[in-house]
Structure 1
Amino acid sequence: MSSPVARPSDYESFPYMRRGIDFPAVELSDPRHRRSGFAAALDEEQVARVERLLADNVVISFHDHPQLFPADQSDVSAFLRTTREFTAFTELRRSGLTAIFDNWFGVIGSSTPSGWQWDDLITTLGMRLADLAHQDGVVVAHTVRDILDAKRDGRLAFVMGTESVGPIGTELDRIDVLYGLGIRQMGLVYATANTLGSGQKDPKDEGLTAFGRRAVRRMNALGVLIDVSHAGDRTSLEAIEASSKPVAITHAGARGVWPIARMKPDEVLRACAERGGVLGLEAAPHTTVSYDHRTHTIESVMDHFTYAVDLMGIEHVAFGPDTLYGDHVGFHHAISGQLGLTPTDVAYDRVAHVDGLENPSENFRNITGWLVEHGYSDSEIQAVLGGNILRLLNEVWR
């Protein structure tokens, strides 16, 4: 890794440790850096309305990565393997967010070539919780009341989640362990098959396994939100059917808008909504592109939003932008072999960043501005900013 040089503002995380002595510090991206030029066409009254909507309502990111990444992408893999992920706390406090579903990057930073192991998962979770315990103005949310209290108290709530429970292997009781350690949202599979089911990159989707069905029942009994964002189509449908509680798709888009396996087909989106679930719209670079906007910007993402609203109903749609602080496209290039990205034969423009949805600081202010500009009511905006997720959590976490 690079020499231990960093701006003083970079390392807000782990304040009890010495940079460059207790951990191998590198220069991190500047969290204040902005490349997005998007601004909704709003008059003075509408700008005030955006600020009021963000201030008065519970705003939840269904999936994001609030970490700062190295300025030099060649440092990424080694950086992730340290299990210490550095968060832009000051920036997050300015974001307008009440709560963020925090899934870390441990699934990428594996200690072995065969993928993330149980020890990796527990170590990363423990490190994350140790950091949060030493931060002012944040709380780890285990209940809906925790999120509502965070809004009342002006604190930022972190919901612990994992993109894949593959590291449990065939040990069902490990789900209980994860719940006991604070995880409240679990992805069944990340991109490729595990003991629970198939992923979106698998050439043949074998569906939910017998063990996967047992895992779904255990998650239901504990009160864990099940996420099928990276599961294959058949696995997603069978998980939705097998679950006694609504299932989430925390970060994806509509395949009817853009034809890649990372997006969900209408059949899955309808099934999710019919059982009371919620879709969070994805915005990681080169995912939620659209036929009408082949240069990936907030406009492409909102094409998926309007399609999903028409198909599922607005009460089943939210936002899980899946963004980070740093060069997201460069990050994808650095670890492309481990990601769940899927190619398409349909032509689109490569971008350096997603204009309007570049990082967690700007996402929900720009989303709210877009919704105001396009004539959505206060109640509709309240629902998609966080109300729909709160309703879902009230059903699942009980």
Structure 2
Amino acid sequence: MTTGMIINALGILDNPNAPHSLAAAHKLVQDSEDLTVDERTIADAHDSGLTAVTITLGYTIGDAEPYAHTLREIEVWDRIIAEHSDDLVKVLTPDDIRAAHRDGRIGVVYGFQNAVALDYDLSRVHQFRDLGVRVIQLTYNQANELGDGAMAPDNRGLTPFGREAVEALCDSRIMVDLSHSGENTCLDAIRLAKLPVSINHTGCRALVDLPRNKTDEELRLVAESGGFVGIYFMPFVHPTGHARAADVVEHIVHAVNVCGEEHVGIGTDGSVTSIDDLDAYQSRLAEHVAQRKAAGVGAAGERADTYPFVVDLRGVGQFRRLIELLAQRGFSDERIDKIMGRNFLAYADRVWTA
């Protein structure tokens, strides 16, 4: 069995069983101070085989002032990494991921899931890069100043500021992440960007026709740009929302068929520490889903009777289980190594290295 790097293009470092964690409280607004990066979090990440993970920090949704909130979030994560320096390392270059793999630490890539903190000020792109941000997603599900998210009804393309922002992100060698974007915004950004772009966590719309999944055209153009597509462990990979590990495999297989084996990986959108009490979690899930819908940030396919993860592809064994399933589908160790991490690292080499 393969023993290569495991790089999660979008994930979470948190113990969701802690009383005040994001998952335990079903909080609508991301606040990194609510994360619990404790001994179990670190131990589970190591036990899972994780090499590096892109985390979400900064403003995504809510009433906080985006720029100030984002700066505070970066400070919080700098402190978390400093407090766990034997186990975590802030990723600024592809070689930091290689060093993490060599040294048995976990690389932490700083990423945004909404670019509104730019607030029409392109100098902030350079500021965020200087602070260590390496991935910026243009939109969340709703529309913003750059373009439309997947749930925005008008499906506009990039706005004039969005076009300027994509150019500035490329100039700063920050990954342009098109997850959550509307189709026209995504296509515009792919065609405009001077560097390869990514969709760090998505599914394939050809298999499940939901707005959060990407069309074959989007997937193919990302690959042709030299970019990267990460498949998520989310309910959107099955039409009922009751997703299983086999569904994730089907989306990976389809993405490889469309994009080629050099451009597909994983972006789970979840943690490696399992929720221990699923019944208690389920009892509060309906309220959380309703809150997201009322705030206009929910996605089609989010329902109270489904989990925001794949129930049989979670916990410390999730990556090993996926590797087993891919091998059963006839994938070679070399192809599996690419999907589990090498493709993201190669993409990072193309974008982050001048």
Tell me whether the two structures share a fold, i.e. TM-score over 0.5. yes
Counterpart among 299, 311, 316 of residue 263 in structure 2: 316
Does the aligned pair in 2 maintain the 1:205–1:234 contact within 8 Å? yes
Counterpart among 221, 234, 252 of residue 184 in structure 2: 234
Q: Label 1:315 to 1:340 Cα distance change in 2 as closer, same or farther (>3 A).
A: farther
How far residue 241 of structure 1 moved from its aligned partner, in angstroms, is: 0.6
Whether 1:86 aligns to 2:41 is: no
How far residue 157 of structure 1 moved from its aligned partner, in angstroms, is: 0.6
Q: What TM-score, normalized by structure 2, do the two folds share?
A: 0.87
Please report the RMSD computed on the Cα atoms of aligned residues, expressed in angstroms. 2.6
Match of 2:312 in 1: 356
Q: How many residue pairs are counted as aligned between the two chains?
A: 336
Match of 1:62 in 2: 9
Q: Label 1:272 to 1:80 Cα distance change in 2 as closer, same or farther (>3 A).
A: closer
Q: Label 1:357 to 1:134 Cα distance change in 2 as closer, same or farther (>3 A).
A: same
Q: Label 1:340 to 1:263 Cα distance change in 2 as closer, same or farther (>3 A).
A: farther
Match of 1:381 in 2: 336
How far residue 164 of structure 1 moved from its aligned partner, in angstroms, is: 1.1
Whether 1:134 aligns to 2:83 is: yes
Counterpart amino acid of residue 336 in structure 2: I
Counterpart CA distance in 1 for 2:168 and 2:217 is 25
What does 1:95-114 correspond to in 2, within 5 Å? 95-104=48-57, 106-108=59-61, 110=62, 112=63
How far residue 229 of structure 1 moved from its aligned partner, in angstroms, is: 0.4
Does the aligned pair in 2 maintain the 1:356–1:362 contact within 8 Å? no
Whether 1:75 aligns to 2:25 is: yes
Counterpart CA distance in 1 for 2:265 and 2:120 is 33
Match of 2:149 in 1: 199
How far residue 102 of structure 1 moved from its aligned partner, in angstroms, is: 1.0
Counterpart CA distance in 2 for 1:283 and 1:62 is 12
How far residue 221 of structure 1 moved from its aligned partner, in angstroms, is: 1.1
Counterpart CA distance in 2 for 1:154 and 1:74 is 29
Counterpart CA distance in 2 for 1:78 and 1:351 is 15
Query: 1:94 aligns to what SS in structure 2?
Result: helix
How far residue 231 of structure 1 moved from its aligned partner, in angstroms, is: 0.7
What does 1:118-129 correspond to in 2, within 5 Å? 118-129=67-78
How far residue 352 of structure 1 moved from its aligned partner, in angstroms, is: 8.3
Whether 1:306 aligns to 2:263 is: no
How far residue 290 of structure 1 moved from its aligned partner, in angstroms, is: 5.0
Which entry has the higher C-alpha Rg, 1 or 2? 1
Does the aligned pair in 2 maintain the 1:253–1:281 contact within 8 Å? yes
Does the aligned pair in 1 maintain the 2:42–2:87 contact within 8 Å? no
How far residue 202 of structure 1 moved from its aligned partner, in angstroms, is: 0.4
Counterpart CA distance in 1 for 2:130 and 2:268 is 27
Query: 1:280 aligns to what SS in structure 2?
Result: strand
* 315-324 vs 327-336, which moves further: 327-336
Match of 2:209 in 1: 259
Query: 2:136 aligns to what SS in structure 1?
Result: strand
Whether 1:342 aligns to 2:289 is: no
Counterpart amino acid of residue 158 in structure 1: V
Percent identity among equivalent residues? 27
Counterpart CA distance in 1 for 2:335 and 2:108 is 24
* 79-88 vs 388-397, which moves further: 79-88
| More helix as a share of residues | 2
Q: What TM-score, normalized by structure 1, do the two folds share?
A: 0.78
Does the aligned pair in 2 maintain the 1:290–1:303 contact within 8 Å? no
* 57-66 vs 81-90, which moves further: 81-90
